[in-house]
Amino acid sequence: MQGILIALIAPVGSLVLLFFKYPVLLSGESNLTKIQLKTLIFQIISLGLLINVGLFFLFLRFKKESISRGILAASLIVLLAAVIHKFLL
């Protein structure tokens, strides 16, 4: 599927930007508890998934169904990983 790489860039890129802007989150010296950090990461990934929704409909509009299917598949995988990270780990 052609859209998988496109769909993975938004959530992963948003996390990279978050950790680049606030490197203290990676060092463990922040004032955030583990639950607050998980919630923040979940919210950032959700923002990336909202970007994927826009891309999904954009590629559907331009009749690129195979790319749209890839974006949808990757978005579901990222969403599942985010939910597992937030609630099970």
Q: What's the pLDDT tens digit per position in 20-49?
A: 888 888 777 778 888 888 888 899 999 899
pLDDT band at 81 (very low <50, low <70, confident <90, very high): very high
pLDDT of 69: 94
* pTM of the predicted protein model: 0.81
pLDDT of 1: 66
Q: What's the pLDDT tens digit per position in 46-66?
A: 989 999 999 999 999 999 999
CA dist 53 and 59 (Å) reads: 10
The per-residue b/e assignment along 16-36, b for 16 or more CB within 10 angstroms, e otherwise, is eebeeeeeeeeeeeeeeeeee
